[in-house]
Chains A and B, each alone.
Chain A
Amino acid sequence: MKITIASGKGGTGKTTLSTNLTSYLASQNRKVVLADLDVEEPNSAIFLKGKLKTEQVFNKMVPKWDSTDCTLCGKCAEVCNFNAIIDLPNEIRVYPALCHSCYACSELCPTNSLPMTPERIGEICEYDSDNFSLVEGRLDLGQEMAVPLIAGTIDFVDEKFDGYIKLLDAPPGTSCPVIEASRYSDFVFLITESTPFGLNDLRLAVETMRVLKQNFGVIINRYGIGDNGVEEYCQVENIPIVTKVHNDKEVAKLYSKGELIYPKIEHFKNSLDEIVEFIGGIK
């Protein structure tokens, strides 16, 4: 079972929910692994204090110009959909940060002047504790392309954690990284807050999930602030509300200290129970 925790709006509680749910499921002797796919700023490891077990370099494949037989025909730049190759009068320039590793330039080059070569873009770290595992994708500074590393982190988890409940903590937004983090899951939790901002971005996230034909439900966080917009929207759109997590300053205090919430706050634990029960009903 693979479940993605996504949001749309940033700062609605993806990581708080992911880390607490992981620990809570583990405390009930469930086999659980959390993948932190917010590869531009992974921070789940702050809350789930595990021991670093493995650390491996992650490469993506990029073309490298070999001038030997190149005729500067410009086919490579013409077929690149991502502006990663510029053909100048006397040379070909490759911009690896823009490359999506589609191989088009390399395959279509008449003189084989753009062989694909590995380039480091980040690393995948695995942390272990007594009863859960955490796998974290971490993009190197200056790298722009999160998707290959997100895909690589999911592959890593799939290979090593067969039979586990896999929770995927997605990055915010609705663009390619979120889609990559959501498309292969059995279910997606969209966590939002009951404010006009939360609703605006929830709508965008819902549209994205519908394009992906993905099953999803909504978790309302900081319930009690804002207005009824999110609830009304979910009712009209027939979207299940999995739980409402009450707004509580004590939760924020624990979070700011890097502590887990559910061991200390009862209503938060009750919300996790509702989520666990909901997961039990996912086909």
Chain B
Amino acid sequence: MKILFTAKGSEWSSPMDARFGRMEMMVIYDEESDTLEVLPNSETEAMEHGAGLQTAKKVLKHSPDIIITGNGAGGKALDILKTSNVKIFIGAGDMSIKEAYEAYKNGKLTEQL
């Protein structure tokens, strides 16, 4: 399983970013190879509109199975994410990446999609 976290840093101990479209970083954990991949998402900072759409497109390029985030993706971003089979879990905005992963594993997060 490939799990994508919306994050504010690149370590397991880094805080999650509650936002989807304007997340600071995408942190992708590949459970099979047990590796973390980190992708900055700073280009959305300068976008007045449509950040969610661009982020969703970028996320799909990395074909995660699961997205773990805080507030959830907005309407337009969801529209794009629905073209794949990705599942979204929300409510991890105030956790660290590690805590968010554990909360997901223990079934503590809510499914948005």
Contact = CB atoms under 8 A, between A and B. Distances in A.
Interface of A: 82-84, 86-88, 91, 93, 95, 98, 144
Contact of B50 (A87, A88, A91, A95): A95
A111 B47 CA distance: 28
Contact of B76 (A87, A88, A91, A95): A95
29 contacts: A82-B49, A82-B50, A83-B47, A83-B49, A83-B50, A83-B51, A83-B53, A83-B54, A84-B50, A86-B53, A86-B54, A86-B56, A86-B57, A86-B80, A87-B57, A88-B57, A88-B60, A88-B80, A88-B83, A91-B83, A93-B79, A93-B80, A95-B50, A95-B53, A95-B76, A98-B49, A98-B50, A98-B53, A144-B49
Nearest to B61: A89
A79 to B, nearest CB: 14
Contacts of A87: 57
Contacts of A91: 83
Contacts of A93: 79-80
Given A88-B57, A88-B60, 6 more contacts: A82-B49, A86-B57, A88-B83, A93-B80, A98-B50, A144-B49
Mostly, the A contact residues are loop
B6 to A, nearest CB: 19
Nearest to B79: A93
| Residue among A83, A84, A88, A98 having the largest count of chain B Cβ atoms under 10 Å | A83
A93 B80 CA distance: 9
Contacts of B51: 83
A95 B77 CA distance: 11
A144 B49 CA distance: 10
Nearest to A80: B50
A84 B79 CA distance: 13
A62 to B, nearest CB: 14
A98 B54 CA distance: 13
A176 to B, nearest CB: 9
Contacts of B79: 93
